[in-house]
């Protein structure tokens, strides 16, 4: 049963890679963020997207930070983060608003 549950959650996460990543019981708590030295930005208009933990179906994996190009048509950048939604922790990807 536990294997079926993990397979189902992994399939859901794999099917929507740009969407929300699920992390809910019986998974371990999300580790604290790692320190990352932010390198100087490349030429042009870029925003630093900090690194974050991602549940890969068996454990948390660190996704390093990176610079993303600024989108002129949007007002501001909203960094990704873990949010509690309906009693479940969900990864909300970074996006422009």
- Which residues fall within 8 angstroms of residue 16, CB to CB, at 6 or more apart? none
pLDDT in tens, 67-86: 988 877 777 778 888 888 88
pLDDT in tens, 10-55: 444 443 344 455 545 567 888 898 999 999 988 878 888 889 888 8
Name the CA dihedral angle for 81, 68, 63, 1, rounded to a multiple of 10 degrees: 60
Over the range 48-85, which residues count as b (16 or more CB within 10 Å of their CB) and which as e? ebbbbbbbeeeebeeeebebeeeeeeeeeeeebebeee
pTM across the whole model:
0.56
């Amino acid at each position: 049963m536990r294997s079926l549950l993990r397979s189902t959650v992994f399939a859901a996460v794999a099917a929507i890679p740009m969407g929300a990543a699920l992390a809910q019981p019986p998974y371990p708590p999300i580790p604290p963020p790692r320190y990352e030295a932010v390198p100087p930005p490349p030429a042009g208009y870029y925003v630093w997207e900090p690194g974050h933990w991602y549940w890969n179906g068996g454990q948390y994996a660190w996704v390093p930070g990176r610079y993303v190009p600024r989108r002129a048509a949007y007002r501001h950048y909203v960094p990704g983060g873990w949010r509690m939604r309906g009693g479940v922790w969900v990864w909300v990807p970074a996006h422009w608003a």
